[in-house]
Structure 1
Amino acid sequence: MYNQRQAKNQRHSFVVGVEYRHEDLFVEVELGTFRTTPLHAQRIANSVNSIILLKNHMVIIFKNAKSITISDDFLKQEYQFRICIKPAMRPLDSSALTHQEREDFTQNQSYIVPEENMKEMNWDFQIAFQYLQDRYDAHDRTHFSFSQSSFYIIPVSEQKQEEVQHATS
């Protein structure tokens, strides 16, 4: 008999990725397609600790202290830079806010960036690095650390799952 517990633990293919940001520059990195449970796919997405952009490459650091280096020659199709074209709001010190004010702040539409305010950029690492140096007058910086913005887990269709299984068999 089929029950909910079996469905939750059933393995499917998921495309897993993360999006990290530094000020108004976002980088989306596709971690890969995994045949796993939904919970484990979420754990894979949450395993990324930070992303560091250097002049010629990017380093993804995982919570287990392992890392991978992505260069423009390696995994070029696995990342995408986007910039926010919405004017930046003044930073706010949330520590001085009451609980209700913090709740109201998280719902404030002026601080939320909708998809239509994001512009995809066909940039390599050097252009993104130069953009950050110029934009934030940081020509003496050797790297920029990105902080987590979001992650995604996209189920792959049954037909695509069969293609993945045949390709890996």
Structure 2
Amino acid sequence: MKKKQTDLIIPDEVLINKIYYLRKQKVMLDRDLAELYGVPARRLREQVKRNHDNFPTNFMFQLTEAEIETLLAHKAIPSRRNLGGNMPYVFTEHGVLMLANVLRSEQAIKVSIKIIEIFVRLREMLADNTMLRKAIESLEKKTDNNTKNIELVFQYIDRLLEEKNNPTERASVGYKLSKK
């Protein structure tokens, strides 16, 4: 008897492309999550409405018209018709995890785990980039200071060369003896 394979094969790139940055948060659209979880989008919305207390605003929020226009402009959604006539919900990392608990399907749990892993990797990449950016900024400050010092040295050298090429008459120092 063959063992049934329950591992989902969803490329990371597919999931990463379904993560958007709205209201200073990484979020996923309800229709994308419904597709990944293998449920109709209306069923996902029904479960969210039934369990509304499980989804505070830092877990899920509904998009505004302006945000929908932004998603359309960035080709995140092909058209308004693709939304099914509803204002879509978006879910943060914590909302994605809560959705798996509300939907209670094996596929939802597995997909949620994979999505959470990607959110964690994105956060780590952002932290690495932040540290790299700070290191580069530190080097730039040092370079700026070195550049200023080098410019100052060249100014002194130019002044010395100018004085050497254009000597000024100096008054003699000491006593003058008369020639008698």
| Structure-1-length-normalised TM-score | 0.21
Q: Which has the higher contact order (CA 8 A, sep 6+)?
A: 1
Larger Rg: 2
The structure richer in strand per residue is 1
